[in-house]
Structure 1
């Protein structure tokens, strides 16, 4: 029981650290995408612990991973198209996109 609580605390800390990086590092798009993926990883870890603790099926985790991979691929494609058109991944370049 103590190990499960420690693992839950680690997953919550992972989510909070990802959230802090998301809020503070808003200059580059790549750092924002990496912090979002770190937050998704923390949520995945927490759901894995909770679902295995109450002995439910883990099929929902597979669906969650599929959606998180799609989100990551979409973010990378937006970043690549932004770098090809503007030459950088700064958020200050977003005003030029509109």
Structure 2
């Protein structure tokens, strides 16, 4: 069980590292956020299995994370349609 905790910690730290270092493209940022969500899901699964709790809250968490992913993809599609690329630095909210 301890190796799963270390693996989940590695996933979340690598997701945070990619999110901070590769902030040029919106798609890479969204993928790193989804990696962080998956590591949180793994942490919650390990925690709930250790205390013999029901997994209903995990289904609620997955539903919210899917809706968050869909919202991010819709923003990505809107940005590509209006600006032609997904570079964060070329996006200006002033006009």
Aligned length: 94
Distance 1:74 1:62 in 2: 18
Tell me which residue corresponds to 2:6.
9
Please give the TM-score of this superposition, normalised by the length of structure 1: 0.93
2:35 is aligned with 1:38: yes
Query: Gaps spanning 5+ residues in structure 2: where?
Result: none
TM-align CA RMSD = 0.7
Report the Cα offset of residue 87 of structure 1. 0.1
Structure 1 runs, 4 residues or longer, greater than 2 Å off: none
Report the Cα offset of residue 94 of structure 1. 2.4
Please give the TM-score of this superposition, normalised by the length of structure 2: 0.96
Distance 1:66 1:79 in 2: 20
